[in-house]
Amino acid sequence: MKKTMIKGFALVAASVLGVTGLSLAPANASAANKTMVVQESNALSGLNTAVNGFNLLTNSDVLGPTGAGFTYYNNKAQLVRNTAFGTFKITKNDCGSTPSFGCFKVTYTVKKGLKYSDGTLITAQDLLLSHAISSSDYSIKAGLGDPSEGTAKFDSAGYGGAYDDHTRAESFDLSDDNFSVTVSYDAFQPDWQVFGPGPGAVHAMVGIAKGKKTFQTARTNATYKSLFEEAYYGSIATLPSQSDPDYEDELGARDDARALMKKIAAKWSTVWNITTVNSSTNPLLLISNGTFRLESCTSTGCTLVKNPNGNIGGAPKQTGNLEKMIFKFTAGTLDDTAVGQAIAAGTVDIYSGAATSSFWSVVNNASGVTAFKGNVLTYEHLDLRTGNSIFPMAPDNIKTIEGSTVNCDADYNGPFAGNSQQAKDLRKAFMLIVPRQTIANNYIGKVFDPAFSGNSPVLNSLFSLTTEGDYAKVTAGSSAYLTDLNKDQTTRVALALALVKKYYPSAAAGSDSFTVKLLTSSRPSRVANAGLMTTEAAKAGIKVEHYIRSTWSSELDCNFFDAAEFAWVKTGLSQTGTNPQYESDGGNNSAGWNDSTLDTLLGEFEKLQTATSLITTKINAEKRLWSNYYSLPMYQWPGASAWNSDLKNILPSPLAPNVTWNYWQIGY
């Protein structure tokens, strides 16, 4: 899942054992080694989650322990201020009835004396990168391209959303001592506490841009920080008139600043997009400020080891005794039974992912294993493409898909293209054939009780989940659009066929009147769901072509596919948190959705709301979403975790990362 507000770049970690290697380590060896082995559902796809196409949950899980910033979420989904890194507060709130730029300000102060893993001092200069990769206005005025046109030099998923809407290029004011940044907005921001900038090792980025492949001296790193600061501000410098005698000098200085920022942007967008880390990897890529640092990565896992500067890097003080964290990946489909057996055998210490009956049956009541079931804020859904992704995939846009060469950046002209009545009707028809009740029953009720024969709740909202307090009121407000979608399967298929026949008069069961190219991962539940959709769609004259792709997460931006089933995972809570999915320029909008009326409705989330008015805002936006038939919510995942009972301080959270969020407290 893509982040709504990118906070600098994060680094990742590595391991050596896959789930298939269950016999390679004796039971409970991890306790003696003070090592925690974490099983992941997917493989790592890159070391920079802020780059478009790389915001995979596994990447975030592995990256998390290597970085620290101003806040984190606890197991109660509460935002906690990390005073070990610094402090922040509102320093101006005077917007009134006529807001203007600078009427709302927040100041962030980095604690003095913090260090990166290479020993370099952390300063507020390191916070500047957050704005460069999140502000469209900065990108344009700095000569780095227009994100809305796909020309931004920073290939960042951080553009779009409330932060981007309400800041300007000049929003970051660096203090004289270089330890504070004051951020200016043009209106009060209800989510101001989660909009904080995060640290990016800018000295490393300057070094990489200059072709350096080794750690530099403290003096050089200080110089590189100053060079980044000068380039950051110099790129948006206002030039004097051409008649001014200093014009040529000022122009030359700005050109030099922009040249360096463009080099940094090019490197930032590419050099961390790797999955192998070893002794030949440029160490500048691995500088971090968290409790742990990256040691190695292979195709089967990543290993993190203690950062020698962790407790002075701004991370919460380590109270657990872990020396190493190993994140294990597996090629192809994850075997849930094997994962459960690995935990019982002691070759894996902890796992939290999609709950399945096979996994739960192994870990529940297993000796030496603690099994936990609870709510997770993760939901399965189906997105339908309407146009071109705003994130071009070039230069990796040419793909081989089932033997054919495909240009992912070619214009989308599939059956769901545009917002004509025909496109909307065909999108609704495809949503109608999805057997959501059957799918929900398979993946909720039967997980913990194989004999379950009732109906599990389907998800009827894209803004609130079934376990959230306002869910009933939000879905009641948009109930008119839910009526058809919640009818029995036979009735829904008949309704779908009637819609298809409006545009394909000869449509009938098996007619294959039009084709839907469906993208998914190889997760067994999604493969099964695709089979159900194929069968039901055929009854309405629709042909489904199922594409199972290991690179599915990066191909959500591929205009070749008409639809994609995957899960959104909440990593935080905010009033504007869902906007990037549905705004026309949203950082998570890969399906080409574009509706100015919806954009206006989503803009209401950026304003101060009461609990009651927020429900109204959700309902209004929800109804517009349903009228477009962009995305179909399916079900909220049931939560299941299991871990080695010798581990202490495992506190499962409904947010991701579910079980490793407090890595500094975990130990034996």
Instruction: Please work out, in degrees rounded to the nearest 5, the angle formed at the alpha carbon of residue 30 by the alpha carbons of 28 and 34.
Output: 135
State the Cα–Cα distance between residues 459 and 225, nearest whole angstrom.
Answer: 48
Q: Are 602 and 662 in the same domain?
A: no
State the residue for tokens 């192809």.
332
> Is residue 104 packed enough to be buried (19+ CB in 10 Å), middle (13-18) or exposed (0-12)?
buried
Q: Are 561 and 629 in the same domain?
A: yes
**Range 339-357 average pLDDT:** 93
DSSP class per residue in 422-487: HHHHHHHHHHHHS-HHHHHIIIIIHHH-TT--S-PPPP--SSS-TTSTTHHHHHHHTHHHHTGGGS
State the residue for tokens 């846009």.
397
Amino acid at 395: P
In a domain, 143, yes or no: no
Tell me the CA distances in angstroms from 361 to 242, 338, 365, 450, 627, one per residue in order: 75, 12, 9, 9, 42
In a domain, 136, yes or no: no
Residue 16, pLDDT score: 22
The size of the chain, in residues, is 668
For residues 577 and 546, which has the higher predicted lDDT (pLDDT)? 546
Tell me the CA distances in angstroms from 56 to 45, 52, 192, one per residue in order: 7, 10, 25
In a domain, 182, yes or no: no
Candidate from 86-95, 195-204, 390-399 with smallest mean pLDDT = 390-399
For residues 266 and 335, which has the higher predicted lDDT (pLDDT)? 266
Residue 336, pLDDT score: 87
Nearest to 57 by CA among 468, 353, 382: 353
Residue 161, pLDDT score: 87
In a domain, 373, yes or no: no
Tokens representing residue 57 in the block: 């949950």
Instruction: For residue 409, give the 3-state DSSP assignment.
Output: coil
In a domain, 573, yes or no: yes
Residue 316, pLDDT score: 96
In a domain, 349, yes or no: yes
State the Cα–Cα distance between residues 162 and 196, nearest whole angstrom.
Answer: 13
pLDDT in tens, 202-241: 999 999 999 999 999 999 999 999 999 999 999 999 999 9
Quote the domain boundaries for residue 249: 8-91+112-125+201-368+645-668
Phi-psi region of 352 (alpha: psi -120 to 50; beta: other; left: phi over 0): beta
In a domain, 509, yes or no: yes
Return the bridge partners of 104, or none.
93, 185
- Answer whether residue 17 shows pLDDT above 50: no
Q: Are 272 and 415 in the same domain?
A: no
SS3 string of 176-245? CCCCEEEEEECCCCCCHHHCCCCCCCHHHHHHHHCCCCCCCCHHHHHHHHHHHHHHHHHCCCCCCCCCCC
Q: Are 590 and 651 in the same domain?
A: no
Q: Are 615 and 653 in the same domain?
A: no
State the residue for tokens 């925690």.
36
Nearest to 352 by CA among 364, 339, 362, 342: 339
State the Cα–Cα distance between residues 440 and 638, nearest whole angstrom.
Answer: 10
Confidence of residue 29 (pLDDT cuts 50, 70, 90): low
pLDDT in tens, 464-497: 999 999 999 999 999 999 999 999 999 999 999 9
Residue 97, pLDDT score: 86
Residue 596, pLDDT score: 96
Q: Are 445 and 298 in the same domain?
A: no
Q: Are 603 and 658 in the same domain?
A: no
Q: What is the CATH number of the domain that holds 47?
A: 3.40.190
Considering its fold, how many domains does the chain have in total? Answer: 2
Are 49 and 63 contacting, i.e. CB atoms less than 8 angstroms apart? yes
In a domain, 571, yes or no: yes
Between the two ends of the chain, the Cα-to-Cα distance in Å is 31
Q: Are 360 and 391 in the same domain?
A: no
Considering the chain, what percentage of its residues have pLDDT values greater than 90?
A: 85
Q: Are 444 and 559 in the same domain?
A: yes
Q: What is the CATH number of the domain that holds 488?
A: 3.10.105.10
How does the average pLDDT of the chain come out, rounded?
93
Rg (CA), the chain: 25
Q: Are 37 and 60 in the same domain?
A: yes
Measured torsion, CA atoms of residues 366, 370, 372, 376, in degrees rounded to the nearest 10:
-120
Confidence of residue 43 (pLDDT cuts 50, 70, 90): very high
Q: Are 555 and 611 in the same domain?
A: yes
- Answer whether residue 594 shows pLDDT above 80: yes
- Answer whether residue 333 shows pLDDT above 90: no
Residue 491 belongs to what H/E stretch?
helix 489-503
Are 107 and 91 contacting, i.e. CB atoms less than 8 angstroms apart? yes
Q: Are 330 and 442 in the same domain?
A: no
